[in-house]
């Protein structure tokens, strides 16, 4: 049984059923039932056309369920003889499903869960484990999301920006449970990139690849966080870096800059530096200027302040940081770093300790605590 093939076919088959007239919830349930039959029967007698088999069985199951519920009879579209769509329709069906699962009417959490379930082909249990919630809670979240989008009409162009935000949310979850969500997000973004020529889809894919390339060097023994400047760059995945740079260059050549392309350009500049000292901070500041111009994002302004501190000196960075809301996540940690670079270990140690108390996760808290302890030990010595 080729599990990877089934996961790839799942969104395509759901898309076919939705295009034929099935409501989303009914289509998703019917495809899941068809997948159960596939798991049971394909090992002994695999079909010549796996997708055609799944479409036929899932559509039959949807019609059976629709006939069994009188309230759904008006939704039936009697097209049992409709042929399986060709490659062009196939791409359109899956693309529509991306848009549906990331519909603006859904909360970000619901859109993420529905995308992983319907487009990613993950089980509810896998998604629940990845997000560290009970399976029943995730099942309710997915069920509510399916009900929400069941009445959505797909007769207008989908919102690519919303889909990209959902995929980026999935990527940033990283690895937990038995599912590598970063890897899953890259897989789904590759699939989306194959079905659309949108330059920001390519930008997000490049950004993911370039960040993911550094993953092996991000943690040390015992899960210790290793900052970018201290990472062993020999452990970075050069194959992913090369692919990410190529994807980014192709997108930038279209001269329709977006926020993900600009962020990917920052990541590419980090990847291009053989050592931390060789980093082109001046160009990085310029690219953060573009991100800020495009989004106004306060986190981008924070990152720009740190980069400015590297390019023009820590006092320039502190001046830029002073213009931002101190309640911004990681503001205190950035201030601690810049004060240390400015030769003020007393203030830096205090701020590192303060930042540790509000750190968003255990590895980051431990890292900041160690930074404070290092400076305090130096001051006592």
Contact yes or no for 56/115 (Cβ under 8 A):
no
CA 116 – CA 55 distance, rounded (Å): 20
Q: Which of 165-174, 303-312, 316-325 has the lowest mean pLDDT?
A: 165-174
CA 354 – CA 80 distance, rounded (Å): 65
Residue 175 DSSP label: E
**What's phi and psi for 175, nearest 5 deg?**
-120, 125
- Percent of the chain past pLDDT 90, that is, above it, reads 56
What is the pLDDT at residue 243? 97
**Which are the contacts of 225, defined by CB distance < 8 A and separation ≥ 6?**
218, 219, 363, 364, 366, 367
- For the chain, what's the residue count? 381
Task: Quick: pLDDT tens for 288-302.
Answer: 999 999 999 999 999
pTM: 0.83
Mean per-residue pLDDT over the chain, rounded:
88
Q: Is the pLDDT of residue 336 over 50?
A: yes
CA 219 – CA 312 distance, rounded (Å): 29
Task: Quick: pLDDT tens for 52-103.
Answer: 999 998 898 888 887 776 444 444 444 444 444 443 345 567 788 888 888 8
CA 133 – CA 12 distance, rounded (Å): 28
Contact yes or no for 58/31 (Cβ under 8 A):
yes
CA 311 – CA 183 distance, rounded (Å): 33
The most confident of 32-46, 107-121, 158-172, 287-301, by mean pLDDT: 287-301
């Amino acid at each position: 049984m080729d599990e990877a093939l089934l996961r790839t076919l799942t969104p395509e088959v759901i898309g076919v059923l939705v295009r034929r007239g099935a409501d989303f919830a009914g289509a998703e349930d019917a495809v899941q039932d068809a997948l159960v039959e596939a798991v049971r029967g394909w090992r002994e007698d695999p079909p010549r056309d796996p997708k055609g088999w799944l479409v036929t069985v899932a559509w039959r199951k949807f019609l059976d369920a629709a006939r069994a519920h009188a309230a759904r009879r008006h939704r039936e579209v009697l097209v049992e003889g409709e042929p399986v769509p060709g490659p062009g329709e196939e791409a359109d069906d899956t693309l529509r499903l991306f848009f549906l699962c990331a519909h603006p009417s859904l909360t970000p959490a619901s859109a993420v869960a529905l995308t992983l379930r319907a487009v990613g082909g993950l089980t509810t249990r896998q998604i629940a484990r990845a997000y560290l919630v009970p399976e029943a809670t995730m099942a309710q979240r997915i069920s509510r999301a399916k009900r929400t989008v069941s009445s959505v009409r797909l007769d207008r162009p989908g919102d690519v920006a919303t889909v990209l935000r959902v995929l980026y949310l999935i990527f940033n979850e990283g690895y937990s449970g038995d599912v590598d969500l970063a890897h899953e997000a890259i897989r789904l973004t590759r699939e989306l990139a194959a079905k659309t020529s949108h330059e920001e889809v390519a930008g997000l894919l490049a950004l993911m690849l370039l960040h993911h390339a550094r993953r092996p060097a991000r943690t040390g023994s015992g899960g210790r966080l290793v900052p970018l400047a201290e990472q062993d760059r020999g452990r970075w995945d050069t194959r992913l870096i090369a692919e990410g740079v190529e994807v980014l260059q192709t997108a930038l050549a279209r001269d329709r800059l977006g926020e993900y392309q600009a962020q990917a350009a920052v990541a590419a500049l980090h990847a291009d530096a053989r050592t931390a000292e060789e980093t082109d901070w001046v160009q990085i500041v310029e690219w953060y200027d573009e991100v800020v111009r495009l989004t106004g994002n306060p986190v981008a302004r924070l990152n720009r302040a740190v980069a400015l501190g590297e390019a023009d000196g820590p006092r320039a960075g502190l001046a830029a940081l002073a213009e931002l809301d101190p309640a911004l996540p990681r503001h205190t940690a950035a201030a601690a770093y810049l004060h240390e670079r400015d030769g003020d270990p007393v203030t830096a140690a205090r701020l590192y300790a303060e930042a540790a108390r509000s750190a968003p996760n255990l590895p980051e808290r431990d890292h900041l605590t160690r930074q404070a302890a290092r400076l305090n030990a130096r001051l006592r010595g």
